[in-house]
């Protein structure tokens, strides 16, 4: 049982981070399953990492105090997502080595993405019919029960509620493999390993995803270890970087979103996200230290007052609900842990990729983000991983 649960835990990070048929359909059940399976693996494992205790104590303590004593005009117990998901992630990540975890994560994401691409292309070009399904207060067109195929403009959303969440999953996974991606001696091997999820990212046609991917590519190309070993490669790397940036920046996906800035229509994606960012900044300005709470009456009233429709920026949503102090500590934890992951390229590129990618969706409470907030265990013996 221990081995089975250990093997599926990385899959839960994918399924419980915005997948329609899982965390969006059964949020309470998914949180409970994630917490229990993570705790089981943590308790049964022989080697545990205790370095994450201060940050999980801070996350739970701050969230509880904020919603029980300060911002207690809550509409629901939704604030528990900021306790149960981080707690489950704490148990899971403290029990895994980084290398073992990321290999599982890549394997599962590649399988999901491969199936998603086949179903998506069949839906777009072979007119594979979708089934309208009510999940929460929205209706989605699903294929194969799990796959969201009716997102506008033929965009690939995979098993997630929208392409913007899917690009977060892909980019957060790719960032873990920055060292492997920067090794140009293994370019063909890397194509086989990462080609499917990169193709999925491109098919998502997420503007934010494209820009974040552009930053990651820039860091990988410019600071590949081969540049230090073979100086003649440096000009080629620079040219390749310029071409990659030019191609992504001038793609229809990015340019269409930028052109929306000149439109008068307030229903465009650009206009909605602009108002979300403005409104969330105003809420932070109104309550900079503790925020106004998750799913509170105050947050609802201020969102209506300032024009926040979708809370589409995860970092600003975190600051608006839990305060700028909480947000700053989370961002510092991410930066600290990136420094400890021994990346061969400057971590600023990975940090910016994470920041840009998550600025597209509000769900900073999902497990996938905590792979950068908590530190993986580096003292797990191989024998324990296989028991």
What are the strands, taking DSSP E only, across 70-184?
A: 131-135, 138-143, 147-148
Which position has the token pair 């552009």? 214
* Helix, strand, or coil (residue 141): strand
What are the strands, taking DSSP E only, across 40-174?
A: 131-135, 138-143, 147-148
Average pLDDT over residues 64-85: 96
Structure tokens at 342: 């021994």
Over residues 105-159, the pLDDT tens digits come to 999 999 999 999 999 999 999 999 999 999 988 999 999 999 999 887 789 999 9
Rounded to the nearest 10°, the torsion over CA 191, 195, 198, 200 is 170
Distance CA 79, CA 292 (A): 12
Q: How many helices (H) and strands (E) does the chain have?
A: 18, 3
Global pTM?
Answer: 0.91
Average pLDDT over residues 293-317: 96
Quickly state the pLDDT bin for 386 (edges 50, 70, 90): very low
Structure tokens at 39: 């705790």
Question: Could you give the angle at the alpha carbon of 120 between the alpha carbons of 272 and 260, nearest 5°?
Answer: 25
What are the strands, taking DSSP E only, across the chain?
A: 131-135, 138-143, 147-148
């Amino acid at each position: 049982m221990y081995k089975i649960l250990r093997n599926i835990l990385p899959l839960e990070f994918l399924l419980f981070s915005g997948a329609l048929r899982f965390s969006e359909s059964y949020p309470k059940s998914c949180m409970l399953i994630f917490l229990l399976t993570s705790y089981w693996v943590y308790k049964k494992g022989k080697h545990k990492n205790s370095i994450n205790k201060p940050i999980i104590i801070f996350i739970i303590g701050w969230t509880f105090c904020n919603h029980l004593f300060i911002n207690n005009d809550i509409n629901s117990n939704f604030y528990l997502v900021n306790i149960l998901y981080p707690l489950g992630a704490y148990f899971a990540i403290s029990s895994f080595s980084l290398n073992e975890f990321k290999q599982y994560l890549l394997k599962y994401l590649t399988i999901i993405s491969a199936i998603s691409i086949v179903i998506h292309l069949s839906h777009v070009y072979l007119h594979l019919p979708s089934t309208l399904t009510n999940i929460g207060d929205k209706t989605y067109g699903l294929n194969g029960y799990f796959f969201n195929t009716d997102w506008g403009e033929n965009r690939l959303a995979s098993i997630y509620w929208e392409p913007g969440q899917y690009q977060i999953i892909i980019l957060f996974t790719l960032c873990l493999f920055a060292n492997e991606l920067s090794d140009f001696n293994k370019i063909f091997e890397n194509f086989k390993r990462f080609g499917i999820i990169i193709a999925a990212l491109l098919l998502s046609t997420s503007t934010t995803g494209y820009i974040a991917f552009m930053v990651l590519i820039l860091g990988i190309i410019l600071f590949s270890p081969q540049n230090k070993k073979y100086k003649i490669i440096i000009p080629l790397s620079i040219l390749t970087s310029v071409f990659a940036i030019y191609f992504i920046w001038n793609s229809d996906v990015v340019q269409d979103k930028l052109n929306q800035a000149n439109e008068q229509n307030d229903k465009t994606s650009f206009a909605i996200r602009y108002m979300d960012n403005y409104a969330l900044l105003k809420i932070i300005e109104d309550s900079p230290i503790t925020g106004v709470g998750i799913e509170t009456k105050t947050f609802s009233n201020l969102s209506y007052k300032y024009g926040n429709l979708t809370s589409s920026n995860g970092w600003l949503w975190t600051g608006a609900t839990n305060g700028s102090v909480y947000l700053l500590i989370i961002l510092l934890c991410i930066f600290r842990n990136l420094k400890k992951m021994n990346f061969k390229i400057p971590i600023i590129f990975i940090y910016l990729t994470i920041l840009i990618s998550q600025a597209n969706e509000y769900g900073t409470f999902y497990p996938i983000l905590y792979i950068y907030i908590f530190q993986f265990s580096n003292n797990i013996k191989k024998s324990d991983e296989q028991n």
